[in-house]
């Protein structure tokens, strides 16, 4: 096992209309008594706990109350997402299944680094048969900071699969916040423009490489094998 390849979920592996946004709205209403809309595009790349905190602070809630009620809010969100999944539309982005199948066949270790709560990630990816590809993950239920999620995924790869971290971790993501988290954690990053961000957004933040999709499996494999964290420093 010489490389660990980490993937963000929304905008990187899948897209579509799910109950994720509504889960936040329900959490805000039931736990904080706040009725508000959520501009989904502006919170892409944030972890679920960051989204909750950001929106509530904006509405004048105090950090103490947000922290105290966080777990209750996450529980409402998980329940809400679970209830919505039958009518959700989760679409796998082009090339994803081929790439994951190929990496798996070549014994790469695969991981998720997502702001999604683990239950939401499992339900979302489970609906389209992607969950079982992944060996490890760092999730929005683990921590509020995305860079900590990268470190957690690597740590879990070590614990569960004897993975030894030596500039051999690559992170795919569709937002500047994914790239930033990868940089802070010390891993190579590849931006993909299948989310709401442009090539320029991802290049400006300093992604190790940027691709327009994961569709060309051979090219992506070459990139994975040629990019090292050291190259970027």
- What residues line the site for Mg ion (CB under 5 A)? 8, 10-11, 174
C-beta of 197: minimal distance to Mg ion in Å?
A: 9
C-beta of 7: minimal distance to Mg ion in Å?
A: 9
C-beta of 196: minimal distance to Mg ion in Å?
A: 9
- Select 66 or 181, whichever has its Cβ closest to Mg ion: 181
C-beta of 13: minimal distance to Mg ion in Å?
A: 9
193/215 Cα distance (integer angstroms): 12
- Select 48 or 174, whichever has its Cβ closest to Mg ion: 174
Report residue 4 as tokens: 């660990």
10 DSSP 8-state letter: B
Report residue 125 as tokens: 């990816």
136-169 burial, b if ≥16 CB within 10 A, otherwise e? bbbbbbbbbebbbbbbbbbebbeeeeebebebbb
Residue closest to Mg ion when measured from CB atoms: 11
166/187 Cα distance (integer angstroms): 9
C-beta of 211: minimal distance to Mg ion in Å?
A: 14
Report residue 132 as tokens: 């079982």
Identify the three-state secondary structure at position 105: helix
Identify the three-state secondary structure at position 18: coil
- Select 10 or 48, whichever has its Cβ closest to Mg ion: 10
199-226 burial, b if ≥16 CB within 10 A, otherwise e? eebbeebebbbbbeebebbeebeebbee
- Select 50 or 66, whichever has its Cβ closest to Mg ion: 50
- Select 42 or 225, whichever has its Cβ closest to Mg ion: 42
C-beta of 206: minimal distance to Mg ion in Å?
A: 17
- Select 8 or 48, whichever has its Cβ closest to Mg ion: 8
């Amino acid at each position: 096992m010489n490389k660990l390849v980490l993937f963000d979920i929304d905008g990187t592996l899948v897209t579509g209309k799910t109950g994720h946004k509504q889960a936040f709205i329900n959490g805000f209403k039931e736990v904080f008594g706040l009725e508000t809309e959520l501009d989904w595009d502006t919170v892409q790349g944030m972890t679920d706990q960051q989204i909750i905190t950001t929106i509530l602070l904006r509405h004048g809630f105090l950090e103490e109350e947000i922290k105290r009620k966080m777990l209750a809010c996450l529980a409402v969100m998980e329940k809400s997402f679970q209830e919505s999944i039958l009518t959700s539309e989760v679409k796998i982005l082009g090339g994803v299944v081929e790439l994951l199948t190929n990496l798996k066949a070549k014994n790469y270790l695969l991981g998720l680094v997502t702001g999604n709560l683990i239950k939401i990630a499992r339900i979302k990816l489970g609906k389209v048969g992607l969950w079982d590809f992944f060996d490890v993950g760092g999730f929005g239920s683990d921590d509020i900071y995305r860079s900590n999620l990268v470190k957690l995924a690597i740590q879990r790869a070590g614990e569960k699969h004897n993975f030894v971290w030596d500039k051999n971790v690559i992170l795919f993501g569709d937002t500047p916040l994914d790239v930033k988290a990868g940089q802070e954690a010390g891993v190579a990053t590849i931006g993909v423009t299948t989310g709401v961000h442009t090539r320029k957004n991802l290049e400006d933040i300093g992604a190790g490489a940027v691709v327009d999709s994961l569709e060309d499996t051979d090219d992506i494999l070459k990139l994975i094998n040629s990019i090292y964290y050291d190259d970027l420093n």
